[in-house]
Structure 1
Amino acid sequence: MNARFNMMENEWAAKLGKRFAGLALMLEQSTLPKTVQFLVQIRASQINGCGFCVDMHTKDATAAGETSTRLNLVATWRESTVFTEAERVALAFTEEGTRMADTHQGVSDETWAHARKHYDDDQLAALISLVAIINAANRMNVIPRTPGGSYEPGMFADFVKN
């Protein structure tokens, strides 16, 4: 499978990508736990059918020490026992924030209340932003049909620095 268009090879899109990567780096440095960040990125990418993003975030999570058992169960988190209550809330938040057209309300009051119990204001701001940014990233890869499978952890490090 080949992409319709390579965003990294287009000068204008690459400039946009650098700024986008800067936002992602800022979120990585937030107090939202890294495990939660990976779970959010993976789950939204699964929902949106973004093979490239699922590939990237599962490989990055593995490189950071996440277990294959947990990664394999992200799509079925409701039926799994390997996630903490805080992680489960973040996964519900991600699903509702990703599937807004399905509910016409975004994140439900119930999910929001549960999230408030587990995350402080800075973490909630990071969670909201992360859901928004991963959904945008998914679209930037799904629309041009960027295939998954070729990502290597850290391969964009130089791109972000320059």
Structure 2
Amino acid sequence: MNPTLRLNWSKLAPKSFEAFLSVNATLESSTLGKVLIDLVFARVSQVNGCAYCLDMHVRDLRKQGEEWQRINSLPTWREVSFYSDRERAALAWAESLTRLADRHDERDAEFAALKANFNDQEIAELSVAIAQINSWNRLGVGMRLPVAAKAIA
């Protein structure tokens, strides 16, 4: 099923759309690195069920040379050895900030893992990135952004 777009929010709220794009542009210059950001974006999009954003970020990961096995293993990142400690800390924090009502007791341990792998600026930028993809996902799911059927390299 590929649902019909409900509303083209980016055309109806162009100033808000431009603000979203500006936040994304600041993340591009982050020291986090595009692969890490796209891994987080893809994982959060999986959790939130945003087909449009998931498709976009998987494509971005492939363009950056990421292997299918790492991409396909994102839902099971805790069970495989394909991710660095830094990536694991980021993915745990991403899931924690995405599922705010769950796992309150684990947030301190997740933050400690962040502190061991990222500096304070990177933690702030990662948290902004997570908030940003959650916002994009809510708009993608809410407005039913369609995914074009096309091959992924």
1:79 match:
79
Tell me how far 1:7 sits from its aligned partner.
2.2
1:126 match:
125
Tell me how far 1:150 sits from its aligned partner.
5.5
Secondary structure of 2:78 counterpart: helix
Map 1:50-65 → 2, pairs under 5 A: 50-65=50-65
CA 1:71 to 1:144, structure 2 compared with 1: closer, same or farther past 3 Å? same
2:8 match:
6
Q: State the identity %.
A: 37
What RMSD in Å do the two structures reach over aligned CA positions?
Answer: 2.0
Q: Distance in 1 between matches of 2:73 and 2:39?
A: 10
Task: Check conservation: 1:56, 1:151, Cα contact below 8 A.
Answer: no
Tell me how far 1:73 sits from its aligned partner.
0.8
1:46 match:
46
Superposed CA deviations along residues 41-86 of structure 1, whole A, max 9, x for unmatched, are 0111000000000011111111122211111111110111111111
Q: How many residues align?
A: 150
Task: Check conservation: 1:51, 1:148, Cα contact below 8 A.
Answer: yes
Task: Check conservation: 1:97, 1:107, Cα contact below 8 A.
Answer: no
Tell me how far 1:40 sits from its aligned partner.
0.7
Residue type matched to 2:72 in 1?
Answer: N
1:25 match:
25
Superposed CA deviations along residues 125-157 of structure 1, whole A, max 9, x for unmatched, are 1111011010001001110111223689xxxxx
- 1:145 aligned onto 2:139: no
Residue type matched to 2:79 in 1?
Answer: E
Q: Distance in 1 between matches of 2:90 and 2:75?
A: 13
Residue type matched to 1:111 in 2?
Answer: E
Secondary structure of 2:144 counterpart: coil
Q: Distance in 1 between matches of 2:122 and 2:7?
A: 35
Q: Distance in 2 between matches of 1:84 and 1:44?
A: 18
Normalising by structure 2, report the TM-score. 0.90
CA 1:26 to 1:35, structure 2 compared with 1: closer, same or farther past 3 Å? same
Q: Distance in 2 between matches of 1:41 and 1:126?
A: 13
Tell me how far 1:25 sits from its aligned partner.
1.0
